[in-house]
Structure formats: C-alpha cells, structure tokens
Structure 1
Amino acid sequence: MNNLVTVATCSLNQWALDFLGNYNRIRQSIIESKKKNAVIRVGSELEIPGYSCQDHFHEGDTVTHSWEVLAKILADKELYGILIITGMPVIYKSHRYNCSIAVLNGRIELIRPKMWMASDGNYRELRWFTPWLGTGKQNETMRLPKNIIEINGQKDAPIGFSLLEFNDGVVGFEICEELFVPKSPHIDMCLDGADIIINSSGSHHELRKLAVRIDLMREATRCSGGVYLYSNQRGCDGDRLYFDGASMVLCNGEVLSIGTQFSLNEIEIVVATVDLENVKSYRASLPSLGAQSSLSKSLNRVIIDFDLRVSNLLPTEPVVVKQLSPEEEINFGPACWLWDYLRRSRQGGFFLALSGGIDSCTVALIAYSMCNMVTKAAKSGNKQVISDLHAILGLPSDSTYIPTDAKELTNKLVHTCYMGTENSSQETRTRASEMAKSIGTYHIEMNFDSVVAAILAIFVAITSKTPRFSVHGGTNSENLALQNIQARLRLVLSYLFASLLLWVRDRPRSLLVLGASNVDECLRGYMTKYDCSSADLNPIGSISKNDLRGYINFAKSYYDLNILGSFLDATPTAELIPITSQSAAQSDEVEMGMTYDELSTFGKLRKIEKCGPYSMFVKLTSMWNGYYHPAEIANKVKTFFYYYAINRHKMTTLTPSYHAEAYSPDDNRYDHRPFLYESGFVWQFQRIDNDVELLTSELKL
C-alpha cells in the first residue's frame, strides 16, 4: 500500500527586520503550497525576522515582533490544514535560541532550538544565540507569550530536540549547520524511525559550494534512507552575503525536485510527492542500518493526530541536477545581489569608473547581466520586479513601461565613465568606449589633468617643493604620492557624478558607486586607500583574477561580445605613471612582484589552509618542486607576507563586497586579523632561511 505525502519547501527573498514584507511572503508561500496539495510547508532559517539581523538579535524588539508575526499566522484559518515550519528567535529561561517552529491548525506543536551553531567565516551565531545541548532530556515545556495564548487558549508548547509523530509518518528537524557537523542529528532521528527530515537553512552562495550541500544531503539519505526537505533563503537580506536558494527534496539518495539557484522571484515553491513506504523498503534492504537502529536510543516524540497521506497523486521521479559552472555563478549571483541592493536602497542606478581593464569590465558585465535578468522577469510579468523597476526609474504609478531589451535598460540603470589623465593610453580609452557601446551603458569620458594640476599647485604653493615621478628622477615617496592623487581624485569625481548624473538626465534619485578591485589585489594591498575601489558596493571584491578571466571568456560567447577578447589580451595596468622612451608601460604583475596565479595560491594557503609564513613555504616547496628553487620560493613568500602586512590596514576600509571566495580578506566581516604587523616577520623568515640552506645543500648532493 502506498503512503504518499506531498511536501513543499520554499525559497523566500526575506529581508532583515522587514517584518511586514517577510510575513506577506511567508503567508503567500503557505497558500501556494496548499494549492499544490502539500501537507508540509518548510521555510528557511529565521525567516520571520530575516537571517541577517545580526546584533539586532540582541534587541528585545526583534523577538517581540517575531512573536507578533507568528500570532498572525496562528490566527489565520486560511492557513489551517498544513504543517507549517517557520523560523524565529525565542527567549526561554532568559536565553535566546534560534528555533524552528512547527505550527498546525493554529497550534504550536514544537519549538525546536538549534543545537550546533555556525560561528566561523561569515557567521557569528554564538554571539547571538545559545546552543540547545539538552539532547538527552525529556521535552521541556515553555510558557507562551500572552498574545499567543489569546488566539486559541494554548498556554504552553514543548521545546527541545524531538520528533513529530503523525498518524502515518514521523518528522524530525535539523537546522542549517547541523547538516555540516561530523555527527548530524539526522543520524539518530533516522535510526529512531524518522521518515522525513526537515532542514531550514540560511546558506550563502560561494563559488562551487552548492555541490557540497547536495552531496551532503544525498549521502545523508543514501546511508540512512528517508526524505530530506531542504529550505534555503534567497537574496541579499541586508549584508554582503547572497543566499542562493536551491531548496530541494531528496529521497533515499536521489534528488526529486530542486529550485533555481539564482532568481529575481521573491517566492519559489519546490514541491514533490514522496512515498513513505519506499523509505521503509529502502531501510529494510540495509541490514547494517537495521542493526544500528536496534542499538539506538529512543528520542522524544510529540504525538499529533493528523494524517499526512494524500491521494490521487503519483510519486515524483528523480531529476538530473544541472549545476552551474563557476563562470555562470559569477554571471548570476552578483547580478541578483546588485538588484536586491538597488531596489531596497531606493537608489536610481549605478555609476562605474570604466578603466578599460578587465576588473571594471567584469563589473560592467555583471551589471549588464542584472539588466538582462530584470528585462526577462519584467517581460514575463513579474509584478514585483516591474513595481521595483518603476520606482527606481521614478515612473508614475500608472506607468506600463516594460524594457524591450537589456541594452535599453542598461542605458537607464548603468552609468560608466572613462577617467583619463596624460598617463592614460588611447587603447584603454577605446576599449572602455567600445565596451560601453556593446552593452548599452550611459557612457561619458573625461580628462582630469587640470584637477590634478590644481591640487598639486596647492602643495607647491605651500611647500615650495615640486614632486616628480621616478621616471623623472623622483623618489619612491614622490612617485607613490603622484599616483595616489590621481586614484583618489577619481573617487571624488565618481561621487560627484553619481550624485548629479540622474539630475542631468531629468530623473530623481542618485546612483550607487560600484568598485572594481578583485580579491587578489585586496589581499596584496595593490590598491590605493580611498581610490575608486572605495565605493558603495563591489561585486568582484572576493573573486580571484583567474576566475574573472574565466568569466570574461565565458561572457564573450554567452553574450556574443567580441570586444571582450581585447580585455583578455591586454596587460593589466594602472596607467598612473608617465611612459617615456626609457620606461615600459606600467604592469600590475611586475609592480606587485608576483603573478595573479601566485597571489591566488598565497591567498588560499593563508586563509583556507591557515598557513603562516613558514608553513606556507613548506607547502610550496612541495607544490612548486621542479618549478622554482627553494630560495626563489622563500623570496616569493617573504615578499607576499611583507606587502600583506604593510597593506593590511587597507582592509579595514574595504568596500562591502559580494562574498564569493573562501579566501576573501574582508576585514569587516569575514577575515578577522590584525591590521598592524611586524612586517619583517623576523622569527618566521629566519626559519624559512634555515630550511632554504638545508634544501639547497640537499640539492647539491
């Protein structure tokens, strides 16, 4: 006999502290799930207040308003007949817990606190929440707030690590990080007979990360059997992270249904019909699973008189999961992040200093990708996208405007400017102009030598000293100062034009300034503090140069933009010093003393492998054996750490960047390290020198 259950898991574009918007999206997703015959609806982690409230979780208001939203859900009889899983902070015995709340027919059936917290990298959950470690206790009982009691008289609810046992199935809970720990809760729950595991998650996008999540869930259900319902938030809810959706349903090691990873839809419902009899048959076919189950402890259960079974439906067949390439992820992830930020910040578009180099070219392409996605969504009738677009453009409420193509919309939203000096080349000016024309940006050009001269004139008048570039006999200090004044003036000019360009075009609002420095340059500190990399947002601030080049190559064919080939062929250069007959054009890699490939390797070893100078040298002597002499490797490591140390202070002012790489040096949220170093690393470098002597003598034998 079949035991068919239809389940729904949701990806909602929630926003921290947007209680009304969050409630409306939750309610709509429940109604849509019911229309699809689902008897279980799963929402993402902390979906009521929004995941990224951060220190707002310390405020009593955040908890109070979450209960108020939950009260509206409980009182709404249109939402009866379906098990609703939502998430919010709960204070119990004076401690704050991150909880999943199970609601059925206006009643709270279980408050399930999170046990294992995400408190590394981008996450600080232990700063705001207490982990629930009472896995061996009987259920405790929590007195409910007055506004909840007044709805239907329910005075208390069970709180703890428990299973929900229905008339025809057993449901257990994990919350995000608990899937990633060595001994996940789903193991004990499945061994004790849980048919369905629910995971409410707030998992951010990172290049190549979705595959890890899918593999974990596949392996969980392959080893233990069962149905796994995974709900993940979508969108930028107020910070550097983009939550990439991809909610899914799995059963016995196979994916039955999966949502989109990147989308402008505020609500996406992923539905599947599963046969719980298949779970029992699968588990019965694994003798070792049965043996372990006989030894497992019994977990707490909340008994609920409710049928999960549905009729007149066929079980959902497994699907082939198509995962995006890193280049596709770069094309869509930061673009969605930019759209959320633009519409929620109530600004009128973007301003970008388009230099003719690969970094600003990539940022322009990502903005163009955003316009492509918005155009397609508007043409398909997405009411929220159309409403947001009209507000951004300052159109009247009765406007029927729909963009005809992405280039048309790009011209309205993306403003680019080539900021040249006497040190700029015609090649970069031409590339910038052709790039702008190819994607349709509103493009302007300027030469600001007069502004540079005016600033220098003030300095000369006060000091009676005239600084010179090194190619003209100046010192290093003079040379850097003359370069930096050009870079910093670009920032001043960027914000001037960002403030007034829409006024010039007879439109309201201002523009957000986009930065264009990649993760490798940030790591090395190869950037001027408060230059045009200091912006409102940076879509590529944690993406490596290698990945950017791969993306440009991908976009060349994806968008049919032949101009991109010239960017790939060009030598990366800042164009801040004069070119004379005795000097070559300025090259980024030459000036940095290392290649972008090497920088990427240094960054991964420093952050992901957690290497200091000595351990990095040791690993590289193995990785680069046969390519470099140990003394060369030692010199490269020392050079990297010296410049990393003296430039680390720049990370304290880093532009908020889309998080895409695990070796991001973002000091403000992700990479918590000092910014004042003893840059000589005397002890560490001496250890390296000792090893170099030893290895060199061995090579001579």
Structure 2
Amino acid sequence: FWPAPQEVSTVLINGAPVPFGTRLLFACRQMPSLVVACEICEDLWVADTPATHHCLAGATVVINPSASDETIGKEEYRRQLIASCSGRLYCGYIYADAGPGESTTDMVFAGHDLIGENGSILAESPLFTNGITESELDLERITSERMKNQSFPMADDSAYQTISFNLNPEVTTLTRPVSRNPFVPYGDQDTAVRCRKILAMQTAGLVKRIDHTHAKTVVVGLSGGLDSTLALLVCAGAMDRLGRKRSDITAVTMPCFGTTKRTRSNAEQLADVIGAKLITVDITKAVQQHFDDIGHDSSNTDVTYENSQARERTQVLMDIANQAGGMVIGTGDLSELALGWATYNGDHMSMYAVNTSIPKTLVRHIVSTVATYPDILLSGQELSAILRDILATPVSPELLPAKDGQISQKTEEIVGPYEIHDFILYYVLRFGFGPAKIYRLAQKAFELDQPGQMESREFLKWLRNFYRRFFAQQFKRSCLPDGPKVGSVTLSPRGDWRMPSDASRAAWMEEAEKLGEAAKESRR
C-alpha cells in the first residue's frame, strides 16, 4: 500500500463533511485535559509510532483497535510495549484486541485487552476470553507528569485537526488499584529487591562523601529507633564498600529524661553487632545545667524542655566528630521533614543526611528487609533479632519522661499515623494533587468508613494537620544538609522542592475544611 497522506482530508458521509486522516485529535469540551487520538494495530510496534506524534500534539489518551494474533511470548511483549508507550509519552493507552471469535483458519486471536497509564498496566483481560476490560485514567496525573518533564516538548503541528465533543462527567466508583503505601512496591519479593537497591544507593552516596572529605570516622547518634538504625546500617555498608573497618563508625548513645531501658539496650546491642565503636554520653546534667542557665523550670515539659535535649545531642555529636576528624550522619527521614517533626538546628542538622528522601513507611520496610536477609550486611540472626525488636518499638523521640519505664511520648498519637501522612505526602509531592483528590484516593485505599477501618472524619483530621504542619515547617526544609535522592520525590531546596518559607496554606486548608463539613453532613 502507498502511505496515507499526512494531511487531514474531508469525506462526505450521508451528505455531511467528515474529517478523514491520521492526524485527528478529539477534545472534550467539559474536560479540557481529555484529548483522544487513535492509532491502529501494528502502529504500536513500529519505530516511529503515530502515538508519539499524537501526544506531542496534545493527546492525553491513545486508543488502539487491534487485530493482533497470538503467538508464544507475544503476550508479555505486548504488555511491555503498552507500558513503555504510556510511560514514555505520559498518556493513557487503551488497547482493544480482536478476540477468540475471529477466524482460526491460520492463526488465533486471544482478545488481550489492556489499559495502561504512565508506565503502569491498570487493567488487562485474561487471554481467550470475551468481556469488558475497564479502569479509570487519571488525567491530572498525566498532565502533572508532562508539566514537570521539561524534555517533553509540545509540538505545534498545524497538520493536526481538533474535533470537539461533549461528554457529561459522572462520579464513578474507582476500580483502579490504589495502594495504602505508595512509596512501597507491591509484593514481598519486589519490596525486598527495591529495599536492597535503596540501601545500596544510600550507601553509594555516603561512600562518595566520605571519600571526598577524607573523614576518619562517621558519627551517628544512635537512639534505638528506626531512623538511626537505618543510618547505622548505611554506615556499615559504606565502610564495607570502602574496605575499611567498621570500628571507624562512632555510634553515640545520649540518654536523658525520656530514654527507656529498651531503646538504650537495643542501641548498644546494635552497635556491638555491627562492629561500631560505642560511646555513651549521658546528657542529663548538661541539659539540667542549661535549664538553670536560662531560668527554665525543669518540671515544665514544654517545647523548650524537649528541644534543649535535641540540640544538646547535636552539639555532642558535632564536637565528637570534630575531635576525631569525622562527620555527623543525619538520621531524620522524609516524613519528619514534611511534618517538621525535628528540632531546628537539633536533629534537623548534620553533615550528610542519608535518610533525607526515605519516608517513614519505607524506612520500616528497609530495616525489615535487612532483618529478613541479614547477609546483606554480612551478619546473622543476632542482628535480625535486634532489628525485629526495634521494628516493634513505638516511634518516639523520647524527649518526655518515661512512665513506669515505658515510652510515654508516641509520635503517631501526636502528629498522626505515618501510613496516612506518607500517603498524603506522596500525592502532594509526586503529582501536586489537592485535598479533595487525595481524599477520594484515600477512600479507595483505606476503605474509609468500612467495618474495622478508619472513619472519614479521622482521615480528614490528619489531612488538615498535614497541611498545617507542611506549610508552617518549610523554614526547616529551606536549609537542609546534603543527602541522596533515592526515589521519585525529595524535599531538598536545591532540587525538587523550591517552596518559600512563608507560603500561604489558606487555599489548601479551605478545601480540606469543606471536605470535613461535607463528611459531617453525610453522617447526619
């Protein structure tokens, strides 16, 4: 066949002029981000696909009515093509395949229908079946990715003709998968592989910094909690990669008013198993002296009481690093940075922050992976046992006095569950979604208001708290220490997140408050 002309022509159908050609875009008047284009069958398989030109001209959804016969191995290749095409072009891709009702004279057709979006397969049909394959395409996610990717050029192609159509949008029940833990991959095996790679990336970042600074030691404040545990594991991996002794790691425990026997014991055992040099500096007297110096009543357990301990610990770590010609390794994670759950110029500050782009839910999975596979760090079951007890310990800064020897200050009871905050954080940073969109996704992911699940009003309470803290605490993120980006998002002011410290939260809070009022009305 001779190639079709690139220009759009006009044909008459029942006396009406109809555009005819390969360069047609169909734009929805009610949803400006819905722009549909079409390619046919083998177009998907060629080097220069029509979909590429369609998307560069503005299409956000590509449909493909295909008569692709089935052969051994073709199913997986077809799946990869559609995932790749939708990811490369930041689009939705709807592939409707000829089914088993076709003639089988020389070949068979499997009816392999697929729906892809931004590199993921949202839905697909089993082979050799008839039926409807359905999902929902997130146009806001598609357009968000395109706006952020400056290498995605929108071509002003005059050869394209746009045809407008009407479509009355309706609220539908979400069928597409929505994970409660979007930072964590599906499946135990996938999670383990991802966590190993993340640990390797953190290690590589620290190796480069140690090599560049010629640091004689790395100093880690070890609390017996998750974040400092992960930081110590990264330090151990870095020393192994550099061919240095793990005793070049200086682990420092600094007990004070809220330190419990459990966390202190875990910190000491962990340092011993890893092979780090352990120093214990009880800061109780120093903090009490500081209270006396500034005239603070030590029975007043306010923010001054808490922050004085955090800043004293940072001073101790910095001075020990100076003594030994070393560098302080930061332990704070992405979730804490988002919520501002760190003391300014206390645990907020370090010389290299290895956990800076790791959210709390992912920190837990990385530590759990090392507990399951301790050979990652050339260790055995003794390390596993310690890590499992650390994983079972409530998250706490331990800045308030313990009660009956137990942790009294539990972070998630104060700021909210990290699973909720990380869910919100992912969609705020990754796609710029607003409160209403995030709430709708949460209804699917957390099965809100279902028996045994969280109520909508509780989720919305934490949603409002997230926005209050996220905007108010930007000043801490505006002066972060260096640290490696290992995932799709980070809050570094030198990279992905350039936000003024005095940005207004009014628009987001107003939307979140309206959601809360609507939820109240629905319960009446």
Shorter-normalised TM range: 0.5 to 0.7
Query: Where do 1:273-672 residues align within 5 Å?
Result: 325-375=193-243, 409-411=245-247, 413-460=248-295, 466-468=296-298, 472=299, 474=300, 479-501=302-324, 510-559=325-374, 560=380, 561=383, 562-580=385-403, 585-592=408-415, 594-624=416-446, 625-626=448-449, 627-672=453-498
- In structure 1, how many angstroms separate the alpha carbons of the residues matched to 2:406 and 2:224? 21
Could you list the runs of 5+ residues in structure 2 that have no partner in the other structure? 1-46, 58-79, 89-189, 375-379
The residue that corresponds to 1:274 in the other structure is: none
SS at 2:278's partner residue?
strand
The one-character-per-residue Cα deviations of 1:98-126 (angstroms, maximum 9, x if unpaired) are xxxxxxxxxxxxxxxxxxxxxxxxxxxxx
Is the alpha carbon distance of 1:634 and 1:345 closer, same or farther for their aligned partners in structure 2, counting shifts above 3 Å? same
Flag the 1:699–1:439 CA change in 2: closer, same or farther, 3 A: same
Query: CA separation in 2, counterparts of 1:500 and 1:696?
Result: 59
How far the C-alpha of 1:514 sits from its partner, in A, is 0.1
For the residues of structure 2 that align with 1:548 and 1:514, how far apart are their CA atoms? Answer: 16
- Whole-Å separation in 1 of the counterparts to 2:353 and 2:344: 15
Q: Deviations over 1:356-380 (max 9, x none)?
A: 11111111111111223333xxxxx
Post-superposition offset of 1:482: 0.9
The whole-number CA distance in structure 1 between the counterparts of 2:315 and 2:220 is: 13
Q: Secondary structure at the match of 1:532?
A: coil
CA-to-partner distance for each residue in 1:515-550, whole Å, 9 max, x for gaps? Answer: 000111111111101113410111111112222111
User: Cα RMSD between the aligned structures?
Assistant: 3.2
Partner of 2:70: none
Distance 2:360 2:217 in 1: 26
Partner of 1:164: none
Q: Deviations over 1:639-679 (max 9, x none)?
A: 11111122111101222121123232222322111211445
Going from structure 1 to structure 2, the CA distance change for 1:479 and 1:219 (only over 3 Å counts) comes to closer
Distance, in Å, in 2 between the alignment partners of 1:428 and 1:662 is 32
The 1:573/1:633 distance shift into structure 2, 3 A limit, reads closer
Contact 1:494 1:532 in 2 (8 A): no
Distance 1:664 1:577 in 2: 30
Aligned mates of 1:572, 1:582 — CA distance in 2 = 16
What is the CA distance between 1:583 and its match in structure 2?
9.4
| 8 Å CA contact retained: 1:436, 1:443 | yes
SS of corresponding position for 2:473: helix
Counterpart code for 2:461: N
Whole-Å separation in 1 of the counterparts to 2:515 and 2:396: 36
**Structure 1 pair 182–355 and aligned structure 2 pair: CA distance change class (3 A):** farther
SS at match of 2:279: strand
- Equivalent residues in 2 for 1:673-692, closer than 5 Å: 673-679=499-505, 681=506, 683-692=507-516
Quickly say closer, same or farther: Cα 1:218–1:410, change in 2 above 3 A: farther
Q: After TM superposition, give the deviation of residue 614 of structure 1 in Å.
A: 4.2
TM-score by length of 2: 0.59
What is the identity, as a one-letter code, of the residue corresponding to 2:408? A
Alignment identity in percent?
A: 15
1:212-227 to 2 correspondences below 5 Å: 216=84
Q: Which amino acid aligns with 1:492?
A: Q
Is residue 331–residue 355 contact of structure 2 (8 Å, CA) maintained in 1? yes
1:101-250 alignment, distance < 5 Å: 216=84
TM superposition shift of 1:631: 2.8
8 A contact 2:321–2:327 mirrored in 1: yes
Contact 1:651-1:668 at 8 Å conserved across structures: no
3-state DSSP of counterpart to 1:571: coil
**TM-aligned CA deviation for residue 488 of structure 1:** 0.5
User: What TM-score comes out, normalization by structure 1 length?
Assistant: 0.45
Which structure: greater strand fraction?
Answer: 1
CA separation in 2, counterparts of 1:554 and 1:324?
Answer: 6
- Separation in 2, partners of 1:643, 1:367: 31
**CA 1:441 to 1:638, structure 2 compared with 1: closer, same or farther past 3 Å?**
same
* Offset, 1:609: 2.4
SS of 2:501 mapped into structure 1:
coil
Q: 2: distance between equivalents of 1:650 and 1:623? A: 31
- Is the 8 Å Cα contact of residues 363 and 516 (structure 1) preserved in structure 2? yes
Q: What whole-Å deviation, never above 9, does each CA across 1:428-450 have from its counterpart, x for those lacking one?
A: 22111100110100111110122
2: distance between equivalents of 1:635 and 1:218? Answer: 36
Secondary structure class of the residue paired with 1:325? helix
Offset at residue 697 of structure 1 (A): 4.0
Task: Report the count of equivalent residues.
Answer: 338
Instruction: Map Cα deviations across residues 135-160 of structure 1 (whole Å, 9 max, x no partner).
Output: xxxxxxxxxxxxxxxxxxxxxxxxxx
Distance 1:219 1:659, change over 3 A: closer
Is the 8 Å Cα contact of residues 260 and 402 (structure 2) preserved in structure 1? no
Residue 253 of structure 2 contacts residue 280 of structure 2 at CA under 8 Å; is this kept in 1?
A: yes
